[in-house]
Structure formats: structure tokens, C-alpha cells
Structure 1
């Protein structure tokens, strides 16, 4: 028996903060999730799998666009026409009723656990191998209940569990996505547990196999690395499963960490960045560049390289239509201060960079523009602003440090 496990396609997901990209590139990333999903279906057909498991958040909302609904329906039809069983659950983003899902009726397509009820589905491969799939779909966008307690006990049949859920944490506010304990999931002793929700690919357990495939296409700088699905092969006699990762995402998000060791001119800086980017550029890649020891940069150089026009200029020197989509600066300058001064400096830094004080300091800007008000609540924007401020502070204090060393 062969199967594919995917999750978190997030069709229709917006790609915010990339409007500066060339139109053609922006259109490519808007369609990247669809291309990845289509490639997964291509693999399923080529490998002649028996089953495709779709573990939630296929759509980015519970009201998907007609475009994404039509695309999904056509891809599912490719699979069901080939008599491949497709078992799908809804997640916390695409919670819907079965009747809201636009898919051609087929005996090979199954929405599991409609109305948030745990359902057991008994199926059989063309060669006669019997297996069960157990799972549930979201009815609302939050589930605080531990659903594992209601999963049926496994019998001798090969059994796959499906769940769009997160491991229970000590932070109660985070336990709203069908929180589970690993020990409980292991105790079910299902042959394979197909999870969704976490966008990082991870095998939580080998025996039994408990797996997050991650999302099928990275959407921003926090979703780095290769994305795709898992292909599973079951030894039907031993009922043992081996899985392999299949890369399908057309766009790779990659972080490039660089470190300055001395002051350089603008031209030297640009040539250095182009050289380092080309070394890492082996396919269509969206680069998130971090320059450490940024205190070596002048104020004019900081202004230059943090401008998106400069990023576009770097990108024109890259193959595969790769792009620089973010460039951030970090400073590690250590100022030699007395113990009292160092304590005061650390306290001032901590106080001024806290979330509440960040918003307080930005009050005048917030009053003038609603977009800025929303932006100032964004953790990623706050972090970037703080890092930029620390670079500027390091530049200002470098002169003080030099004078201290001279004395």
C-alpha cells in the first residue's frame, strides 16, 4: 500500500509585504501553493498511490474564492478518476460544512468527521489490503477539547489517525487547536498518525509514526526550507510504514546569515552581497538576508541596503528569478561601561523595547495613520524596528567606544 500525507495548503493565502516585487514574480508566488498542490497530485498519479490524506487547512479561510474551489475540485477529480481514495479533514482555517465544499461527488472522495464528530472509515486497496482511517473536521475555528480521548481503540486492522491539532502547552491561550498529549497519542498505537496545523515538517514519533508534513509552500520568512508532502509505503505483511519527503514547493524561502568584519564602501558592499547570494542560489529562492556586525556600516549604507529598490537591484544579478525579499541588520558591538552604567543601559534597553512601550513611543505616529497603528502591533515589525534602532545606537556609540579605548 502507498499513500501521500499533506496538510496546510492554505490555498488563497495572501502574501503580504511583497508588493514591491516585479509583477511576474508576485504572480508566481500568488500561484505557488496551487502549483505545489498540483505537483503533489502528479506524484500521487505517477506513484499509483492507494490513498491521499489531506490533514486540514486546505483553504486559508472558510469562504474560499471560486478560483481556489474550482482548482481544488479539478485536482481531486484527477485523483478520483484514477480510483485513488482521497480522505480530507477541515482545519481551523477552512472549517466548513460538507455541503459548502465544492467537489464532484465520487465514491473515492471522503470528508472525514463532518460536524466535528470522530469518524472511522474502513477502506480496501485494489489488491485487497484492508485499512481504517479515523479523524474529525473542525466545525468552528477553535477546539479546546482533547479529541484524542474519543478516538476508538485500534483493532488488528492497519489504522491511520488524522487530526489538525497542536501539542498541549502550559500557555492556556494556545490550547485552542484540539490540544493533545504525546503520551495519549502514542497509547492509541495507531500505525500512522497524519497531523496538520504546524507548518514545520516534523516526525514526532517513529514508533508509532506520528507526523507533521508541514505546509506545502512557504509564505514568508518564518517558513523557511523545502516544503511538500510525505510519501508512505506500507509493508502489508508486517504492517510497517516507511516514509520519504517529496519536495513540491516551487519557491524556496531561505535565510542567509552574513557577517561584516570591517568597514567597506557601497560598491564593495553590493559586490559582496551579490557574491554571497549567488553561492547560495541553486533554485528559485526568496532570500531573507541578515547582516551581522552591522555597526561597520555607515548611516548612508544602512539607508541604501534597507531600501527595497536596492533589493531589486541585487535580485537582477541572481539566476532562477530569485529575489531578495528582506534584509535586516544586527549589531554585536560591546560598549565598555562601568557596572552601574551597564546596568542602567540594559534596563533602559529592556524597557524601551518592550511591546507596551514600543506602542507607547509610537503614539504620535499611530494617531496619524491607521495602517501604522496596525503595523505597530505586528511582532515582526516591532522586532525589525528594534534591531534597526540598535544598529543606529551602535553606530553612535562606536565613537564613544573608540575614545574610551584611546584613553
Structure 2
């Protein structure tokens, strides 16, 4: 039987992220994004105070680069000092972005901050604010940016505490969207005897297992259109019997969204305009008054497909949408349209349907048959890219496509060819 306690689990702060590719955005957008990781850090501090947590766990990549900026280190020092002044401990591991061999300013850190070194993890007591011991916390920091051995295998539970919490920056079960640093299997973690694995590295919020809990909180602030939706940390409440309650808290200062607009059933630009504006308004209302970076994807099949294929048409729609949204300089809850992506399809080719034995009909039929078969799509794509396969990066790209992606490529290529041939025949 233990005692009840509460802790905050966050990871992947990436303080002072450079947000590359912002040269063409308005100054208000650029400056807000550059400050967003620090604003989210401040939200973490306020969250810890508001929830009256007993301690904080930060699971790696606090900084965006090994040679971490002085500004980021000073902001982190300020936050940890304020936490310590309220009796809150902080436990830290460093990950691949901020390894131990990176540049560090010579700063004094509060006594209530424990930064784990590299090596076999030794237990460190975590205390409630009233001084009672709540748990043992274990952790390993990356000595360098690339760590490819299974660090999870080094963790061993030591007797002496009612609750055991392991902090680790790792890729569990080989998530393909992230570098395979400190690779391990979920079974490695669940069999190790810990009550909670406080993970970092994967920027999506995920609970991989309960009892024992294996948890990724995701990052605290989205940094690109690939990191959409709420971002933040978990408040973890542990009862005297060891039951665990997770509560996610959004700390993002700027949100990134992607929204799909379909051309299905739309034959006029006026209808598309209404749908685009509705998508913007819905995204704005969901942002909770925060700034929003939005990507719009135009999809579906319909009459507008041909008129959207010209590059200048998509650029004109994007320009007008930004105009309709207003200048980010004029408000704090701006919406900036990052991009407009056209992924529409043509109506089923009448020429192909009317002349099944003609060239266009045979092309369409073969394309559909290939797209409907994983093996067929793979063979056709490899044949079409035979000359390009001499380039290693293209060969690697092709090999990494899923059957679904190959089928989509074949389908779109077939429709584009049919559309171009139809225009030429007309």
C-alpha cells in the first residue's frame, strides 16, 4: 500500500525550435511561432501549479539541438527554479536532440532537479510536497545523438518504494515516422516490473498499455503541418492502491490543422468558395481563440477537377483565402493558410466507357485493374520507374511505399493520362 500522489509527464519540448521555412510568412506569424515553444513551456509551469503536482517528469528532447541555445537554457532554468521554490521536484532525461555531449552553458540548477546520466539507471526517490516518499524514478540520458542499442534492457526495479517510474526516450516497436533510436519492444517494457513508463521521442500522444502504463505524451507544441491538433502533457494521478488516472492537458500556443474540402457534387467555383470558407470558419472555432496554421486539401471527384489542375489556379485560390482570413498583424487569433493542396479526381472518363476497345478504354481498364491489386500496382510502378530506379533515393522511396500508396499513385496517374488524352482528342 502506497500513498496518493500526482505528477506531470511531458516530453519533446524542443525549445527554441527554428521553424524552418518561415521566410515567406508574415512577421506576426513568424514571431509567434518562434516564441510558441517558450509559451508552451510557460503553460507547463502554470499547469503544474494549477494541478498541484508533486513532481514533474521530462522525457527527453527538452532542447531542439545538441548545441542548445543559451536562451532555451535560461528559460528552462527559470521554470525549474520556480517549480523548486514551490517544492516540486523535476526529473529529466536527455534524448537524441539534446544529448549529454552537446554544448551546455555553465548554469546553476536547483537542488530539486535531477538530470539522469548515461549508464545503468539507479533509483532516485520522488517525494510528495509534504515530504513523504511516493516513488522511485529511474532514467538514462543519451550520451550522444545517435543511440541504437536497447536502453530499456538496462532498467531494473529496486526494492524500497511503493511505485516505480521509468523515464526513457525511445522508439517502441519501430515507429516508422521517427528515427529508430533506443529501439525496444513493448514486451520489453511490460515485463520489466515498472508501474509506469514515461516515454518520449514520438510526437503523437499514445497510451501503448495500461497496468503497467506505457505512455507517450507527444510534444508540447506542434512544429509543422505534420504535427496537427492539441499538443501537451499528461497529469498522472496515482491512488494509494496504485490505480492510475491519466488526464491530458493541452499546452499548445499555436495550433496546426489540416482540413479536407471535397468537390463532390460541386460544378461551380462559387460552391467551392463556400466550402473553403466554411472549412476555415470551422477550424477557427475549434482553435479556442488561439492562432492557427491551416492546410487545406481539396479532394473528391467532380466537374471542377480539370479547372483546378493548373498550378496558377491553386495559387490564386490560396491568395484569395489568405485575403479573406485577414492580416495576422491585426489580431491575436489569426488564421494563416499555410498551403492549399489539390488532390482531386476527374469524373469517370466518358470516352473510356464509350470505347472500351480503344486506346483510352484499354488504358483506363488496365489502370483500374492494377490499382485494385497490390501486386499489380507494385509491378506497374516498378516498370514505370525502371529508368529512375538507378537513383538510390528514388529506389528507396519506391520500396518504402505501401500497397495503398502504390494503388493511389496508379489510380491518379491513370486518371491524369485519361484527362490529358481526352483534352488532346477534343
- Relative to the length of structure 1, the TM-score reads 0.81
SS of residue in 1 equivalent to 2:118: helix
Question: C-alpha distance in 2, partners of 1:256/1:47?
Answer: 33
SS of residue in 2 equivalent to 1:118: coil
2:88 maps to 1:72: no
| Aligned twin of 1:292 | 299
Question: C-alpha distance in 1, partners of 2:421/2:248?
Answer: 53
Alignment check: 8 A CA contact 2:127 2:134 kept = yes
Unaligned runs of 5+ in 1: 364-375, 380-386
Question: C-alpha distance in 1, partners of 2:22/2:267?
Answer: 29
SS of residue in 2 equivalent to 1:64: coil
The residue correspondences of 1:156-235 to structure 2 (distance < 5 A) are 156-169=161-174, 176-235=180-239
Question: C-alpha distance in 2, partners of 1:99/1:16?
Answer: 22
Of 95, 100, 108 in structure 1, the residue corresponding to residue 112 of structure 2 is 108
SS of residue in 2 equivalent to 1:3: strand
Alignment check: 8 A CA contact 2:89 2:113 kept = yes
| Aligned twin of 2:366 | 343
Map Cα deviations across residues 9-43 of structure 1 (whole Å, 9 max, x no partner): 11122223333221111111111111111101111
| Aligned twin of 2:260 | 257
Alignment check: 8 A CA contact 2:36 2:252 kept = yes
SS of residue in 2 equivalent to 1:330: strand
The number of aligned residues is 383
Quote the offset at 1:86 in angstroms.
0.6
Map Cα deviations across residues 152-208 of structure 1 (whole Å, 9 max, x no partner): 13535311100000114398x987411111112111231211000000000011111
Of 363, 385, 388 in structure 2, the residue corresponding to residue 357 of structure 1 is 388
The residue correspondences of 1:322-341 to structure 2 (distance < 5 A) are 322-333=335-346, 334-335=348-349, 336=352, 341=363
Instruction: Say which is worse superposed, 139-148 or 257-266, in terms of deviation.
Output: 257-266
Instruction: Say which is worse superposed, 242-251 or 91-100, in terms of deviation.
Output: 91-100
The residue correspondences of 1:39-78 to structure 2 (distance < 5 A) are 39-78=43-82
Question: C-alpha distance in 1, partners of 2:229/2:178?
Answer: 25
Alignment check: 8 A CA contact 1:144 1:175 kept = no
Question: C-alpha distance in 2, partners of 1:47/1:285?
Answer: 27
SS of residue in 2 equivalent to 1:397: helix
Question: C-alpha distance in 2, partners of 1:56/1:354?
Answer: 41
Question: C-alpha distance in 2, partners of 1:152/1:355?
Answer: 51
Question: C-alpha distance in 1, partners of 2:102/2:422?
Answer: 66
SS of residue in 1 equivalent to 2:123: strand
| Aligned twin of 2:326 | 316
Quote the offset at 1:402 in angstroms.
9.6
Question: C-alpha distance in 1, partners of 2:385/2:229?
Answer: 30
Alignment check: 8 A CA contact 2:260 2:296 kept = yes
- Relative to the length of structure 2, the TM-score reads 0.78
